[in-house]
Structure 1
Amino acid sequence: MNRAALFDVDGTLTDTNHLHVTCWWEAFRQAGHAVAMHDIHRAIGLPGEDLLGHLLGEDHDTSGDERLTAAHDTLYATYFDRLPGLDRAAELLRELHARGWRVVLVTSASDAELTALRGAIGADDAITATASADDVSEGKPAPDPVVHALGLAGAAAPDAVFVGDTVWDMTAATRAGVVGVGLLSGGIPRRDLEEAGARAVYRHPADLLAGLDDSPFADVSGEAGK
């Protein structure tokens, strides 16, 4: 049976969460909505439609949603040529690939955005596939993107680990029956990630890479303690 190393991208492999916060804040401002950056930050990781409902209320007038999303996307695209990958993210993916894991990215990014993100990570040689929110009926925190990623990897839930930086990531992993590993690099507190189901929490990709042999990846592969 294949083993699947599933990874969120924004805030997990790339240092981009706060760019999203800024772009959403400006998009909301242009549309006449006063939304606090703190609240936007906590909503990052949700698909665009769900993020708008979460921040503006499920009963908000959705007639302007398309313009809001387009404004965010246009603003964020101005950073495509300089999106920062997190330290040693590429090495982490390559090490897992070398150990026989099938690496699948689980993201809600559009095709153009994903191309820029993959360029920032710089480890296409280690990535088996990508699961997008567009591929499923519901995005995170629903388990659908994680389940879809398992299918792409040809792996079962007990043979997978999902690494992410938000409570939405950890909730989706838990609902899919997959071990969740949280990273603090997206700015969400350790306690929140643990309460959402994270089996372990690391500071950033470099920290996880350094502790890989004692991480949940070792538990899944049966190598813990060796």
Structure 2
Amino acid sequence: MTSHGVRQARGVALFDLDGTLVDTNYLHTLAWWQALRQFGHQVPMARIHRAIGMGSDRLLDAVLGPQRRHSEDGAVSDAHGTLYAEWYDTLRPFDCAAELLRATAARGWRVVLASSAAEEEVAVVRKRLGADEVIEAATSGADVETTKPAPDLVETALRKVGAEPEDAVFVGDAVWDVEAAGRAGVPCIGLLTGGTSRGELEDAGAVTVYEDAATLLRHIDSSPLSRPPN
């Protein structure tokens, strides 16, 4: 109950950022590729791209292996952040991304951004989206010790607004989003804009998959975002 005795809406729509609402996955791939080269690691971009959506610790495990030099993780991650920041002025939301957030809120959902990106990156992307009036809360990688595909980030996002898994739907673009949501007991809508195939998202457990934010918006009333739980 609020201070006025009115019950808050239960339904929470969790949205990933990179590759879901903003066209950044390939920029992250390039920045990680450049950062890894600075430390002598020659890693194919295709391998890096498949790990985008994980937190930096999991990503480095995926592309370098768990036996890598862990002592350089922080420096590699910082290098990635510096290189990626060069793109800040050119970041663009996907077509209809902000409109999707507003339409979701208009149907009674509480909108939460569930991202494991750095706090600075989340702030930049929120500014680019220009939909803060409907965003109730947001996470960053600083909020959790264990990142996607672990469920911690999804669970933290729910705790921020006092919601339960049965009240929520997650929208993401990566297998790691789908797996994290599933482990937290939250159904996940997949989008293809991050470069992951429909089959991979469905195999990971996505309840439905759309081409992009604009397509989900057009079909929102026949999607899991049509109306929140009562």
TM-score, normalized by the shorter chain, greater than 0.5: yes
Give 1:26 shift.
Answer: 0.7
**1:82–1:120 CA contact under 8 A, matched in 2:** no
Give 1:53 shift.
Answer: 1.3
Given candidates 189, 200, 208, the residue that maps to 1:192 is: 200
Give the match for residue 209 of structure 1. 217
**2:193–2:211 CA contact under 8 A, matched in 1:** yes
Give the match for residue 19 of structure 1. 27
- 1:160-199 CA-to-partner distances (Å, cap 9, x unmatched) read 1000000000001111111100000000001110111100
* SS across alignment from 1:218: coil
Give the match for residue 6 of structure 2. none
Given candidates 115, 125, 132, the residue that maps to 2:123 is: 115
After TM superposition, list the pairs within 5 Å mapping 1:25-64 onto structure 2: 25-64=33-72
Aligned mates of 2:204, 2:142 — CA distance in 1: 24
Matched, 1:165 2:137: no
User: Is the deviation greater in 170-179 or in 128-137?
Assistant: 128-137
Give 1:69 shift.
Answer: 0.9
What RMSD in Å do the two structures reach over aligned CA positions?
Answer: 1.3
Give 1:38 shift.
Answer: 0.5
**1:2–1:153 CA contact under 8 A, matched in 2:** no
**1:158–1:220 CA contact under 8 A, matched in 2:** no
Given candidates 165, 183, 187, the residue that maps to 1:179 is: 187
Give 1:106 shift.
Answer: 0.8
- 1:126-183 CA-to-partner distances (Å, cap 9, x unmatched) read 1000122321231111111111111222222112100000000000111111110000
Aligned mates of 1:205, 1:180 — CA distance in 2: 14
Matched, 1:84 2:92: yes
After TM superposition, list the pairs within 5 Å mapping 1:99-178 onto structure 2: 99-178=107-186
Matched, 1:72 2:74: no
**1:81–1:116 CA contact under 8 A, matched in 2:** no
Give 1:219 shift.
Answer: 6.7
Matching residue's letter, 1:129: A
Give 1:50 shift.
Answer: 1.3
Matching residue's letter, 1:147: E
**2:108–2:228 CA contact under 8 A, matched in 1:** no
* SS across alignment from 2:23: coil
Aligned mates of 2:74, 2:144 — CA distance in 1: 20
**1:9–1:106 CA contact under 8 A, matched in 2:** yes
- 1:45-104 CA-to-partner distances (Å, cap 9, x unmatched) read 111111111110001111221221111111100111221110000000011112221111
Q: Structure 1 residues 5 and 176, CA, compared in 2 at 3 Å: closer, same or farther? A: same
Give 1:220 shift.
Answer: 5.1
Sequence identity of aligned pairs in percent?
Answer: 51
Q: How many residues align?
A: 222
**1:15–1:83 CA contact under 8 A, matched in 2:** yes
Give 1:218 shift.
Answer: 2.7
Give 1:2 shift.
Answer: 1.2
Bigger strand fraction: 1
Aligned mates of 2:185, 2:119 — CA distance in 1: 28
Matching residue's letter, 2:155: V
